[in-house]
Amino acid sequence: MSDLQASNPLLQTWQTPYGLPPFDRVEPAHYLPAFDHALAEHTAEIERIASAPEAPTFENTVQAFDEAGRLLMRVNNLFWNLTSSETSPALQEIERSLAPRLAAHDSAIYMHAGLFARIAALHAQRATLGLDAEQVRLLERKHLDFVRAGALLSPADRTRYATITEKLAELTTQFTQNVLADESTFVLPLETEADFVGLPASIREAASAAAAERGLPEDSHVITLSPSLAEPFLTHSARRDLRETLWHARVARGAHDGEHDNRPIAAEIIALRQQQASLHGFATYADYQLSDRMAGKPAAVNELLMRAWNPAVEKAGADRALLNAKAVELGEPTPIAAWDWRYLAERVRQADYDLDDAEIKPYFALDNMIQAMFDCASRLFGLQFIEQHGLELHHPDARLWEVQDRTGKLIGTFIGDNFARQSKRSGAWMSVFRSQSGIAGGTLPIVINNNNLAKADHTLLSFDDVRTLFHEFGHGLHGLLSNVRYEGLAGTSVLQDFVELPSQIFENWAEEAEVLKRHARHFETGEPIPAALLDKLKRARQFNQAWTSIQYVAPALIDMALHALPAGTPVDIAAFETEQCEKLGVPADVGMRHYLSHFQHLFAGPSYAAGYYVYMWAEVLDADGYDAFVEAGNPFDARTAERLYRYIYSSGNTLEPGAAYRAFRGREPKVEPMLAKRGLIDIDEAAPVPA
């Protein structure tokens, strides 16, 4: 062992429970030396594969490539998880310096002429090599990865492409850090009793916890931009002036003049993506991205989105009339504004459906809902979750469960990190510290779910929070249940418009009365949620769905329009957004869930660029797919659950996603169940998803 390895815990064998990172021993100063060592090691591994004197075989080339870089991946997974979940100025500085270096390393690998020549030779002969289906799939995916990374470009274009990739890594990192800077510094103080009018006790408690987390005096209360605090405030606060202040602050994230201004950064990202697409021979970046997605072409995406957009805008008109009438009744100004919609919708919901969010929340304590999702996974897939205490994790809020199958065999570990904090980016996401694979004895996954719930003595969830919790756990199950040989095909390594299916279909169990009767219990009395309240929840399910649909579909359509600009088209981000909103007719009193200056799905990396539509694409699959359980007459039907496990959760990217869905469902998906679920149509006759 070298002196560096002896002194750097990142480079040592991790003698920790479950192979967890040694969180308590790693310091920021360890990362750059560890990355230097791991990058050099990976480069040497690639050179050995590429320069091997033996003729290329699947084992000495494709499988060897899949197994290479394990040290780099281990260090990388830890670092990027921490920069998302528990960052610091020191980590952010390292992140900015590393992003272009790692992009350059990836470019050097995927443009390595010798390695690509071996993979291309095997790809050309793949039908005659005697490979099984999973091996063929890995070979085809690896070959495509090289092609999409520029391996077929001319030498000059490869150099240009690598430069673009490095610059994009730098810009997307800066974009993310700018959003975090705005989110972590803004607070809306609640200073007098008048500032609390309308707020239930749970929001008061969360606002107190947010102030304490920021080191403010003991009796302070603040509202932050975290959705789990901001959205309930917008829903319940009777102070219209404070709602307006908070709404504008959320919209303006990343849109302030100065060092954290994301508008010029986003414009530069778009220009570079246009150049990428042009180098590949595509007319637009959207065409390039969708060439490796289920949707195939932008026209299919726009057709699906418009099928939801038009009825949503029409239905919002009727909803608006109800809200304006409620505003008049309450003495609120009319016409209503975007910072009024949530507040007035909640008042209408209370009046028309006798359903009050403050009445619901006491039955949705976080710990109970965690047990609910574990119970569903147990009944569907035979999993057991056993919490382990006394382990050193990345933050005291994080918890770890050992995951066993129905025989008691360990299949992985699951970490839940559920609370918002200044050192954590907003939103909710799943990631891994280690992926599953079956080579060389196999590796078990270490999966983490991140949420941004408002921490309190008793963390009580809205029903939207419950759905988010189940959604991310669906992603978590996708990682935990992965059962493939090759890590490059494991877990969530699937096409982008398929990756949301395992998460979104799992949300359906959060709404099952059978599940709620068992787990939705009052946090103080332990009494189960009353049947009458469950009935109210069911009746109100489609209320305000036009608003929800517009909030999502508008940025999805703008995403496609932005990435459909031809190469060489300059863009003023703010002007483009305004123009598109006017063109679509986005109602000003509804607004959008994401605005371009803080739209991290688009600008924190390439995965969801020209891809925010994937949630609705997957929603088509999830609504249609869950109907298989409805048709079976049992939300835990064993045969249907076995198909769901085999073709959706455990198969990773070993199957083409369309074929995987057909194997699960027995036919092509239909759009109408999704539209009906959103209350946008009355379902009479189903039709296939647009292709």
Per-residue model confidence as pLDDT tens digits over 200-254:
998 999 999 999 999 999 999 999 999 989 999 999 999 999 999 999 999 999 9
The pLDDT score that the predictor gives to residue 5 is: 75
Listed residues 148, 167, 201: the one ending a domain: 148
Average pLDDT of span 603-621: 96
Residue 87 belongs to some domain of the structure: yes
Residue 256 Cα distances to 63, 177, 261, angstroms? 48, 14, 5
Q: Residue 687 pLDDT > 70, yes or no?
A: no
Residue 154: burial class (beta carbons within 10 Å; 0-12, 13-18, 19+): exposed
**Residues 555 and 591 placed together within one structural domain of the fold:** yes
The C-alpha atoms of residue 656 and residue 137 are separated, in whole angstroms, by 8
Q: Residue 2 pLDDT > 90, yes or no?
A: no
The C-alpha atoms of residue 257 and residue 539 are separated, in whole angstroms, by 46
Q: Nearest-CA neighbor of 164 among 83, 285, 259?
A: 285
Give the percent of the chain with pLDDT over 70.
99
Question: Is the link from the previous residue into 335 a cis peptide, with omega within 30 of 0?
Answer: yes
The pLDDT score that the predictor gives to residue 439 is: 83
**Residues 247 and 307 placed together within one structural domain of the fold:** no
The pLDDT score that the predictor gives to residue 426 is: 87
Please indicate whether residue 472 is annotated as part of the active site: yes
The C-alpha atoms of residue 503 and residue 512 are separated, in whole angstroms, by 16
The pLDDT score that the predictor gives to residue 682 is: 78
Domain containing 81 equals: 3-110+112-148
Per-residue model confidence as pLDDT tens digits over 115-162:
999 999 999 999 999 999 999 999 999 999 999 999 999 999 999 999
* Number of independent structural domains in the chain: 3
Q: Residue 180 pLDDT > 50, yes or no?
A: yes
Q: What is the DSSP string of 216-282?
A: --TT--EE-S-HHHHHHHHHH---HHHHHHHHHHHHTTT-SSSTT--HHHHHHHHHHHHHHHHHTT-
**Residues 229 and 300 placed together within one structural domain of the fold:** no
Give the percent of the chain with pLDDT over 90.
94
Q: Which pTM does this prediction carry?
A: 0.92
Q: What is the DSSP string of 540-589?
A: TTTTTHHHHHHHHHHHHHHHHHHHTSPTT----HHHHHHHHHHHHT--TT
Decide if 240 contacts 333 (C-beta within 8 A). yes
Residue 40 belongs to some domain of the structure: yes
The pLDDT score that the predictor gives to residue 686 is: 40
Per-residue model confidence as pLDDT tens digits over 56-107:
999 999 999 999 999 999 999 999 999 999 999 999 999 999 999 999 999 9
**Residues 224 and 274 placed together within one structural domain of the fold:** no
Decide if 452 contacts 424 (C-beta within 8 A). yes
Residue 223 belongs to some domain of the structure: yes
The pLDDT score that the predictor gives to residue 357 is: 81
**Residues 142 and 80 placed together within one structural domain of the fold:** yes
Q: Count the neighbouring beta carbons within 10 Å of the beta carbon of residue 224.
A: 29
The C-alpha atoms of residue 144 and residue 104 are separated, in whole angstroms, by 19
| pLDDT band at residue 407 using 50, 70 and 90 as cut-offs | very high
Listed residues 148, 164, 195: the one ending a domain: 148
Residue 621 belongs to some domain of the structure: no
**Residues 122 and 15 placed together within one structural domain of the fold:** yes
From 472, 500, 577, 672, the catalytic residue: 472
Q: Where are the beta strands (DSSP E) in 429-576?
A: 429-434, 446-453
| pLDDT band at residue 355 using 50, 70 and 90 as cut-offs | confident
Average pLDDT of span 630-653: 98
Residue 638 belongs to some domain of the structure: no
Decide if 508 contacts 466 (C-beta within 8 A). no
**Residues 143 and 278 placed together within one structural domain of the fold:** no
Residue 664 belongs to some domain of the structure: no
The C-alpha atoms of residue 343 and residue 350 are separated, in whole angstroms, by 11
Decide if 230 contacts 465 (C-beta within 8 A). no
Residue 314 belongs to some domain of the structure: yes
Q: Nearest-CA neighbor of 282 among 606, 566, 522?
A: 566
**Residues 143 and 18 placed together within one structural domain of the fold:** yes
Decide if 347 contacts 355 (C-beta within 8 A). no
Q: What is the DSSP string of 592-648?
A: -S--GGG-HHHHS-STTTT-TTHHHHHHHHHHHHHHHHHHHT-TT-HHHHHHHIIII
Decide if 587 contacts 309 (C-beta within 8 A). no
Q: Residue 688 pLDDT > 80, yes or no?
A: no
Per-residue model confidence as pLDDT tens digits over 671-681:
999 999 998 98
**DSSP secondary-structure letter at 289?**
H
Average pLDDT score over the chain: 95
The pLDDT score that the predictor gives to residue 441 is: 83
319 CB-near residues (< 8 Å, 6+ apart): 345, 544, 546, 547
**Residues 279 and 205 placed together within one structural domain of the fold:** no
Average pLDDT of span 485-513: 96
**Residues 127 and 60 placed together within one structural domain of the fold:** yes
623 CB-near residues (< 8 Å, 6+ apart): 673, 674, 676, 677
Average pLDDT of span 434-447: 93
The pLDDT score that the predictor gives to residue 4 is: 75
Q: Residue 361 pLDDT > 90, yes or no?
A: yes
Residue 367 belongs to some domain of the structure: no
Listed residues 226, 251, 276: the one ending a domain: 251
**Residues 55 and 127 placed together within one structural domain of the fold:** yes
Q: Nearest-CA neighbor of 603 among 311, 262, 307?
A: 262
The pLDDT score that the predictor gives to residue 107 is: 95
Q: Rounded to an integer, what is the distance from CA 328 to the centroid of its chain?
A: 39
**Residues 565 and 602 placed together within one structural domain of the fold:** yes
